[in-house]
């Protein structure tokens, strides 16, 4: 097992996803400072009213946006590999824990499963009239890319992170995306109807 600094937040990132963080607590300023000084990674783990979860992701700081005189930082981090947290350890001002990386099982979705998921995702993007980056269809995980672009909330995202194969993730995502598309399509129609004084303009 490896020991790593643990940063618990009410946030879930999936491998490949980037996010900005504001670092203000002294203990986490120390953790992020060491990551910057030595090129270390830290472990991001969801912590909410249900407690700390035992599956998280290793993260690296990829950009420092701001450094403030009082030591606070605004940084951008990128999630890399999923891990299982086996227990917390002591000895540092910040939390640390023993982890093992959790590789995917070799179970890939078939073409039909991928197409169903991609079609549902396209419906969400179109209905939301969103400007998002194109998916990299040659990457290891289409599901993680979609999960980083559609806000399902932390619980669903954590569930996707804990699944052990790309096929499981794609199969789980497809119906959720289809349901989300229906909701967004209704909301968009209502918004357009309101903007048109109750009338839907023909395309």
Summarize pLDDT for 141-186 with one digit per residue, the tens: 999 999 999 999 999 999 999 999 999 999 999 999 999 999 988 8
Per-residue pLDDT tens for 23-77?
999 999 999 999 999 999 999 999 999 999 999 999 999 999 999 999 999 999 9
What pLDDT does residue 129 have? 87
In the numeric block, which tokens belong to residue 150?
């559609």
Neighbouring CB atoms inside 10 A of 19's CB total: 16
**Confidence (pLDDT) at 54:** 96
Does residue 30 sit in helix, strand or coil? helix
Per-residue pLDDT at 198: 59
Q: Taking 80 as the threshold, does the pLDDT of residue 200 lie above it? A: no
Q: Percent of the chain at pLDDT above 70?
A: 96
Q: Measuring CA to CA, how many Å separate 106 from each of 71, 83, 103, 109, 140? A: 44, 17, 9, 10, 11
Predicted pLDDT at 203:
44
Q: Are 188 and 129 in contact (CB under 8 A)?
A: yes
Full-model pTM: 0.90
Which domains, ranges and CATH numbers included, belong to the chain? 2-101 (2.30.130.40), 111-195 (no CATH)
For residue 141, the model assigns a pLDDT of 95
- On the 0-12 / 13-18 / 19+ scale of CB atoms within 10 A, 121 is buried
pLDDT grade, residue 4 (50/70/90)? very high
């Amino acid at each position: 097992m490896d020991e790593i600094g643990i940063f618990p937040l009410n946030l879930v990132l999936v491998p490949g996803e980037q996010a900005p963080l504001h670092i203000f607590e002294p203990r986490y300023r120390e953790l992020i400072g060491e990551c910057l000084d030595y090129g270390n990674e830290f472990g991001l783990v969801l912590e909410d009213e249900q407690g700390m979860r035992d599956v998280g992701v290793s993260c690296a700081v990829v950009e420092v946006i701001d450094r403030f005189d009082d030591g606070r930082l605004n940084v951008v981090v990128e999630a890399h590999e999923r891990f299982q947290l086996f227990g917390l350890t002591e000895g540092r001002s910040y939390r640390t824990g023993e982890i093992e990386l959790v590789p995917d099982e070799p179970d890939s979705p078939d073409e039909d499963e991928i197409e169903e998921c991609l079609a549902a995702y396209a419906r969400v993007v179109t209905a939301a009239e969103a400007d998002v980056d194109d998916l990299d269809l040659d990457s290891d995980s289409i599901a993680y890319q979609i999960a980083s672009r559609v806000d399902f909330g932390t619980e669903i995202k954590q569930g996707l992170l804990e699944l052990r194969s790309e096929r499981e993730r794609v199969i789980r995502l497809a119906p959720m995306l289809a349901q989300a598309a229906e909701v967004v399509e209704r909301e968009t129609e209502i918004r357009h109807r309101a903007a048109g004084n109750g009338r839907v303009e023909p395309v």
